Amino acid sequence: MTEAPHPYDPNHPHDPVRDPWRAAMRRALAEADHAAATGDVPVGAVVLGPDGAPLSTGHNEREATGDPTAHAEVLALRRAAAALGEWRLSGCTLVVTLEPCTMCAGALVQARVGRVVYGARDEKAGAAGSLWDLVRDRRLNHRPEVIPGVLEADCAALLTAFFRDR
């Protein structure tokens, strides 16, 4: 899971906070491609277990299923809970290509996810630091760690291309 660049690569400086999550974000980007194929906004997510092994994946399926709650994060969380046999995802990490919205941020807080890692910021609907910061609201009983900006340019480019071509 630690796919760090060469320490002397001037095009990609070493980032000890974000580099460990690059491989999982690449997997989330591959999931996002599945969403675009069905006309959904290309967002993909991966849930990693406490040991770092992938538990589940998801991509947006709102258009494909007609379900307004079929966001990548919600689907990945549901599948991870099914894989573990319980709703508490303590110690798990949600890796997603776009900053979670309020619905998804609420779901990951309720699931007790330990960490959320995201790629592109969502200035219009982000709830993990951009527009709102629901996941770190001190009034809540659970506040996961947030690591933003992992492969941010790649995640943003996928979304920009999708909306440009519409």
Which residue ranges make up the annotated binding site for Zn(2+)? 71, 101, 104
126 burial (CB, 10 Å; 0-12 / 13-18 / 19+) is buried
Q: Is 61 a catalytic residue?
A: no
Active-site entry in 73, 123, 145, 152: 73
Nearest to 44, CA basis, from 117, 107, 114, 112: 117
What is d(CA 140, CA 18) in angstroms, rounded to the nearest whole number?
26
Binding annotation: 71, 101, 104
Residues annotated catalytic, as ranges: 73
